[in-house]
Structure 1
Amino acid sequence: MVVFNPTAGGNRRRRLMKTLRHLDAHGCAVALRETAKPGDAEVFAMEASAKDCDVVVIAGGDGTINEAINGISRGTGEVALGIIPLGTANVLAHEIGLSIRPAKVAAALAQGPIRRIHLGEADGRKFMLMAGAGFDAEVVEHVNLKLKRVIGKGAYILEMLRQARAYGFPTLHVTAEDTGETRQAATAVALNGRHYGGPYKVVGDGGLSAASLDMVLLKRKGMFNVIRYATGLATGRLARFSDVEVLRGSSFSIDGGNDEPVQGDGDIIARLPTRMRVAEETIEVVFPQA
């Protein structure tokens, strides 16, 4: 079952149709379901069962994938998750090494191995890749969605620069519940994978197969440090900065600010204070062939 948001339109629909033709050539039977409103992908995934399909394929971005994993977790859990990456950042595609080319995507969905992975959870809401609080979440909450559809990642860069001037940068208090250690930070991002923002790798090991989260703490505030951290992310050096700390654990609590947003996989999923942990549920994901 392929789930697609028809408002994506344009080039995204053309890439989807090419992928479906390749799937047909591989002998795959496909049922296409189109969403009409936010939350439909979660409902479709929750209702899916092994008697109807073996894979729920999300044709979209990481936010729609987030809906799907929450639906699968609430459903029978009998179906695997596949993706046709049509989003802005496509972080999951980078995480599992999946090309965006229709022929490669179809081959992965038809022939790739299925692997069981761990999920993260923030206040009961599952996340696949990351959950963040502080500056990171403030940008996600206020990014112009219409502009995002036109210029993609550029909308996040513009909002990042705007928030760097306007944001108050409240101090976050992050506690690693495994050890009881508490740290202070301007931004805190719990990684379930290794990547953030697209192809940018933050940590070298761990990832979706590990039953742990990597809590990345960015400790300094202000526009200069926002730009410095962004440069470190783009060059692969962020985790080596002296004012960046990475804590590995199974559960973290975060407090600070006044009802500040918490983003998960690029959508707002909670407010502070929050608790982020490794979810009890696991799901199966279709990976590309090695």
Structure 2
Amino acid sequence: MLGLLPLGTANDLARTLHLPTRLDAACEVVARGHVVDVDLGRAGGRGFVNVASAGLSVGVTEALDPGLKRRLGPAAYGVALLRAYRHHTPFTATLELDGGGATLRWDDLLQVAVANGRHHGGGATASPTAGIDDGLLDVYAIRAAPVREHVRIARALRDGSFVAHRAVEHVTARAVRLTTDPATPLNLDGEVVGRTPAEFTVDRNAVHVLVPAGTTAARWDGTRTAP
């Protein structure tokens, strides 16, 4: 069973699970909260709770030096994003969904992301319907476009409505095989590990975690009664 304290820079998993940001209130949840089970994403043999991505997000992670995070907190993500954006080279992604049920090819991409959870990157929302216990991966890709269009997309990241923009592709699947041209590093929950091609799956109800009473972020689907 996992109890979370919001001590990170972005706290995206805590945000997904509706955990309080005050440390004393979060400790109260650990002591008296109730248990839910959430999904765990898999990129090959590596687990992730929030998102796996390729493209711009890797450049953002590489630009997020510890000093910048200490000085600016969550605002450091915006600064790192601007730095990475200036040097990004578009790429192509091919996705095989659900074991070959469909194959998609997306060209001229800024980023492709495979989300297990709802929030990532300091509060961005993967889609309006994304959830951490729905057994699905939300996959989105942002195409290269004029700067003004990317600004519009950025403004809609908070609520996930950016997936409706014409420069964005969005699908859901239970399994995804991702190939990129050229091959590119992968960012798993803020750590650059592995490269494409990669296969993504979902382990249902894999992590038991304490959350505030009344949260709608996840529920208990196990076979025993949660304490």
Question: Alignment partner for residue 65 of structure 2, among 124, 131, 144?
Answer: 144
Q: How many residues align?
A: 211
* TM-score (structure 2 length as normaliser): 0.83
* TM-score (structure 1 length as normaliser): 0.66
Q: Which residue is equivalent to 1:189? A: 113
Question: Alignment partner for residue 232 of structure 1, among 156, 160, 164?
Answer: 156
Local SS of the residue matching 1:289: coil
Q: Which residue is equivalent to 2:185? A: 261
Higher RCO, Cα 8 Å, sep 6+: 2
Q: Which residue is equivalent to 2:195? A: 271
* TM-superposition CA deviations, 1:106-134 (whole Å, max 9, x none): 22111111111110011211000111111
Once the two structures are aligned, what percentage of the paired residues are identical?
Answer: 28
Shift of 1:259: 4.0
Q: Which residue is equivalent to 2:144? A: 220
Write the letter of the residue equivalent to 2:170: V
- Cα 1:258/1:145, change in 2 over 3 Å: farther
- Cα 1:127/1:239, change in 2 over 3 Å: same
Unmatched tracts of structure 1, length 5 or more: 1-79
Q: Which residue is equivalent to 2:127? A: 203
User: Which one has a bigger Cα radius of gyration?
Assistant: 1
CA distance in 2, matches of 1:98, 1:91: 10
Deviating beyond 6 angstroms after TM superposition, the runs of 4 or more aligned structure 1 residues are none
Q: Which residue is equivalent to 2:87? A: 166
- Cα 1:207/1:158, change in 2 over 3 Å: same
Q: Which has the higher helix share?
A: 1
CA RMSD of aligned residues (A): 2.1
Unmatched tracts of structure 2, length 5 or more: 215-227
Q: Which has the higher strand share?
A: 2
- Cα 1:265/1:201, change in 2 over 3 Å: same
Write the letter of the residue equivalent to 1:150: R
Shift of 1:268: 1.2
- Cα 1:215/1:243, change in 2 over 3 Å: same
